[in-house]
Amino acid sequence: MRKDDHPADVVALLLDPDSRIRASQDESACGEGAWAGGAEAVEGYLRQVVAHLNRVRGLVVEHAEFGHYGSGYASFVDVFLTRRDGSARRVDPDGLTTVHGLSVALCRLAPIACILSPGERSHHPDGHGCHSMPWLDAVADMPVPGWEEGCEQISRVLDWHRIALVGPRLLSRPALPHLKIDTNLGDGPHYPIFDVWFHWMD
């Protein structure tokens, strides 16, 4: 299996027209597991996944964005992980902390996730800081160079929780031509599969 091949059932779910329509309307598109129990069940399940990710040997969860970036609706939970040994963390004399790491986007609409190219989060004691957002162009193939061991640990956790990692080749496919997706993360009017499953609107 190539690094961006996917099980047939995952491909079928992501490409199914009815599933894509439900997902574009922020409705669960999976009738199994936590996704059959509604939004509250999914939220609780994803918190378990994040807690498990925080226990892996080489990585630690720096931030998990369950709050929809402060407003609006995000169809995913943005989880930023960094090296547990602190080697990817820098603190400047003025107190600005910059952390290098990987983001994993856990979909709220189906048991899928994608991993993003390495990026940074920063925060300052006065409250300012910055972080990247999930974009299609940032979706990475596995393993991510320089993070091979961490990627393997992430994959094992997601496999344990029956969440499929989806790569850029599948997520780059076009969505249904008539589909309208409310998102600040895409350019439209022609949306890729990524925007169906991973979208945020303020």
Nearest to 192 by CA among 179, 175, 169, 177: 175
Per-residue pLDDT of 34-87, as tens digits, reads: 999 999 999 999 999 999 999 999 999 999 988 767 677 899 999 999 999 999
Name the pTM for this structure. 0.91
Confidence of residue 6 (pLDDT cuts 50, 70, 90): low
Nearest to 73 by CA among 22, 24, 17: 24
Check pLDDT > 90 for residue 118: yes
Pull the structure tokens for residue 30. Answer: 């999976």
Residues 92-105 have a mean pLDDT of: 92
Per-residue pLDDT of 150-174, as tens digits, reads: 999 999 999 999 999 999 999 999 9
Pull the structure tokens for residue 123. Answer: 């925060």
Question: Which element (helix H / strand E) includes 117?
Answer: none
Under 8 Å between Cβ of 124 and 94: yes
Across 22-111, the runs of DSSP E, i.e. the strands, are: 59-65, 73-74, 76-83, 89-91, 97-107
Pull the structure tokens for residue 115. Answer: 């991993």
Burial of 49 (0-12, 13-18, 19+ CB in 10 A): buried
Which is higher by pLDDT, 111 or 189? 111
